[in-house]
Homo-oligomer: A and B are copies of this chain.
Amino acid sequence: MRLPLKIAVAGLGTVGAGTLQLLERQAELLAQRAGRRIVVAAVSARERRRDRGIDLSAVRWYEDAAAMAADPEIDVVVELIGGSEGIARLVVETALEHRKHVVTANKALMAHHGTRLATQAEENHVVLSFESSVAGGIPIVKGLREGLAGNRLQRLYGILNGTSNYILTTMRETAHEFAEVLAEAQRLGYAEADPSFDIDGIDAAHKLAILASVGFGRPVDLDGVYAEGIRHVSRVDVDFAEELGYRIKLLGIARLTEEGLEQRVHPCMVPRVTPIAAVEGVYNAVVAEGDFVGRMVMEGRGAGALPTASAVAADLVDIAAGRDVPPFGVPTSNLRTIPGVPIDRHQGAYYIRLMVVDQPGVIADVAAALRDERVSMEAMIQRGRAPGEAVPVVMTTHVTLEAAMRRALHRIAALDTVLEPPRMIRIEDF
């Protein structure tokens, strides 16, 4: 057996502690699978004294994680600090510069600087691995990059944010409103005190940008990702979705069209019979559609200390065994220039919900606005009568251009009989 692989861990939050726990508990197994031992030689974290349930007395402690990343004894730096800038970025750049392999769980860093870091890793002939940055324990980066190496993808989509999926699932199951469910999720620790990152689609956008690069062999393009969260999804919409045979999911979607690559994160109505509709609660799932493999789905726990540690360990075993893959599947100089398609150019079907005054002629005005923008209605539901009062009217459209849909909604919003801003949810027919 070869010399041990010496690793340094920067950041000992829940994922860091989970990783140390895994490396200790599975030490023998990992050594057999990697052909050598994986040894934690140094750690760095904000608080030295916190009890993490792991004996760190034999491990070198660094106050300065960047100094640790330059330690000549270290083979691999595991970055579990988080954040796209500051110390996390410095640690990764310092490690690569000093020709150390890097394993990172940092989706913000990879989404913002992935291509540049991959280039830096290539120039220094070291590995940059980030399986744990997307979809927790699901080996999706490996699955796409190596497992589907023989395919060109047409579409890649998934449930990438467990918090949002938990909230949407609970809204449906309990028939509570968004705000109540969010408050409960915060109480249970499933949502942060400041939930914006999760429920506004930012976290999912980071992950989609990374996956789209891996799947389509294109430089990471976070700016090209349209992101819309779930704040505006109401119980009424959840109920109408069921009635129409759909389920509402926050999806990240990357799709190759004739114009280029769409990258978008937003709530979707998906047919209840499609596999992704059945992925509930804190689970994540990713679907890849390749020209040879057809549809391939991977599902599992999208977050949490232990699943994330599982992904970190997989990256470490590959490095210890000497298995090397370019971060985005091909050398960065070979990444393809595929233009991004802005959301205005998106073509799809739409679900629209209006709150209107229940009086004759309202639907005629709405229909005229749609006609004027050449949006073709597919179905309309008006349930319940309350003359002179507010009632919901729901419509679905045939495939139409997003820009036209938006113009139509603008006209509709201006009608006197329409009482609230119209709600729009895109329909995806998988």
Q: Which residues of A contact B (CB under 8 A)?
A: 18, 22, 26, 29-30, 32-34, 131, 137-139, 142-143, 146-152, 217, 275, 278-279, 285, 290-301, 304, 306-307, 309-314, 316-318, 321, 323-325, 329-331, 334
Contact = CB atoms under 8 A, between A and B. Distances in A.
A138 B217 CA distance: 20
Contacts of A137: 148, 290, 292-294, 296
A408 to B, nearest CB: 36
A146 B306 contact: no
Contact of A310 (B22, B139, B151, B325): B151
A30 B150 contact: yes
Given A26-B292, A275-B299, A298-B299, 18 more contacts: A29-B152, A137-B148, A137-B293, A139-B148, A142-B143, A142-B146, A146-B323, A149-B318, A150-B310, A150-B314, A275-B278, A291-B306, A292-B307, A292-B309, A293-B306, A294-B300, A294-B306, A323-B323
Pick the 6 closest A-B CB pairs, nearest first. A139-B147, A150-B313, A137-B293, A296-B300, A292-B310, A293-B310
Nearest to A316: B150
Contact of A26 (B138, B152, B331): B152
A142 B131 CA distance: 14
A45 B113 CA distance: 50
Nearest to A321: B325
Number of copies: 2
Contact of A150 (B297, B298, B317, B323): B317
30 contacts: A18-B292, A22-B150, A26-B152, A32-B330, A33-B330, A131-B147, A137-B290, A139-B147, A139-B296, A142-B146, A142-B147, A143-B298, A146-B323, A148-B310, A149-B317, A275-B279, A275-B299, A278-B278, A292-B313, A293-B300, A293-B306, A293-B307, A293-B310, A294-B301, A294-B306, A296-B298, A296-B299, A296-B300, A297-B298, A321-B325
A29 B148 CA distance: 12
B290 A310 contact: yes
A143 B152 contact: no
B295 A297 contact: no
Given A142-B142, A275-B299, A314 B152 contact: no
Query: Chain B CB within 10 Å — which of A32, A139, A217, A292 has the most?
Result: A292
Contacts of A307: 292-294
Contacts of A138: 296
Contacts of A324: 321, 323
Nearest to A32: B330
Nearest to A142: B147
A153 to B, nearest CB: 11
Contacts of A295: 300-301
Contacts of A293: 137, 300-301, 306-307, 310
B33 A314 contact: no
Contacts of A294: 137, 300-301, 304, 306-307
A217 B152 CA distance: 33
Contacts of A146: 139, 142, 314, 317-318, 323
Contacts of A34: 149
Nearest to A306: B292
A33 to B, nearest CB: 5
A290 B297 CA distance: 18
Contacts of A292: 18, 22, 26, 137, 306-307, 309-310, 313
A421 B363 CA distance: 64
A358 B26 CA distance: 58
A22 B152 CA distance: 11
Contacts of A285: 297
Query: Chain B CB within 10 Å — which of A137, A217, A290 has the most?
Result: A137
Contacts of A149: 30, 33-34, 313-314, 317-318
